[in-house]
Amino acid sequence: MIDTILFDLDGTLIQFSQEAFIDAYFTELRKVFSGFGIDPNLSVKAVWAGTKAMAQNDGKAINAHRFWETFAHTMQLSGEKIKSVEAACDSFYSNEFDVVKSIIIPNDISQSIVRVMPEKGYCVVLATNPFFPLCAVSTRLGWIGLEVNDFQLVTHYGNSTYCKPSHGYFREIFKKIEKNPEQCLMVGNTPAEDMAAGELGAETFLVTDCLENEAGMDITMYKCGTLSELEAYLMSLPDIT
């Protein structure tokens, strides 16, 4: 019986064009790197290199370590310099990053379903791909009127050692919340990443408003629909309080 809902964030609870988000995000992030007198364009390449290192993480170190180790190597920066850059990035995510919210497509459904499911007796988890620090996740949640404390668990680069679509990512979540896959429903907008939870036995729901399916995967085997249709489906689940 399902008693836990795992929500993806970007493109699912927060709806936007991925291209618009990346453009707005890096426009602002470049300013942080420029403030350190380091090449902002090279720094962006280092961010992508660090992101790739996290995506390929094998569970032996937290994602944050993988990211900053790769970033430092790519930029040839000392440990002390990297600490300063990391602190500046955390400040950015807690402050200036907020201007990126201008690209989101507003909706009232995300806040509603995250808040009502616990009232129905369900555990809710924010299963966002852990490429960002917690402060960045917190800021993005604020764009849709939610908080970190609305979830039993929030994945971020400081508490995860895998990324989607690795089975290790989902197993880490199941272990932390002490649930079996069969008790969980994974909700997301990317079949290649989010629907991988189904390979472990979890139920899945593919949100189609901002579908990301670059590989052209066949999605006919998945339960799918708009965010509004997801809301109707979740409301149809039995109360377990």
For residue 145, is pLDDT > 80? yes
What integer is the mean pLDDT of 134-157?
98
Q: Residues with Cβ < 8 Å from 232, sequence gap 6 or more?
A: none
- 195 and 222 Cβ atoms separated by less than 8 Å: yes
- 215 and 16 Cβ atoms separated by less than 8 Å: no
- Give the model's pLDDT for residue 29: 94
The DSSP secondary-structure symbol of 80 reads H
Rounded to the nearest 10°, the torsion over CA 42, 43, 48, 53 is 110
Which has the minimum average pLDDT: 29-38, 66-75, 232-241? 29-38
Quote the percentage of the chain above a pLDDT of 70: 100
- Integer CA distances (angstroms), 236 to 33, 188, 206, 230, in order: 48, 19, 17, 10
pLDDT in tens, 148-166: 999 999 999 999 999 999 9
- Give the model's pLDDT for residue 35: 86
- Give the model's pLDDT for residue 37: 84
Domain ranges of the chain: 4-16+103-236, 19-101
Specify whether domain 4-16+103-236 bears CATH 3.40.462.40. no
- 186 and 194 Cβ atoms separated by less than 8 Å: yes
- 54 and 67 Cβ atoms separated by less than 8 Å: yes
- Give the model's pLDDT for residue 122: 98
- 172 and 161 Cβ atoms separated by less than 8 Å: yes
What integer is the mean pLDDT of 23-27?
95
pLDDT in tens, 194-238: 999 999 999 999 999 999 998 889 999 999 999 999 999 999 999
Q: What is the average pLDDT value for the chain, to the nearest integer?
A: 95
pTM summary value: 0.96
Q: Look at phi and psi of residue 117 and say left if phi exceeds 0, alpha if psi is from -120 to 50, else beta.
A: alpha
How far is Cα 158 from Cα 7, in angstroms, rounded to an integer?
19
Identify residue 143 by its one-letter amino acid code.
Answer: W
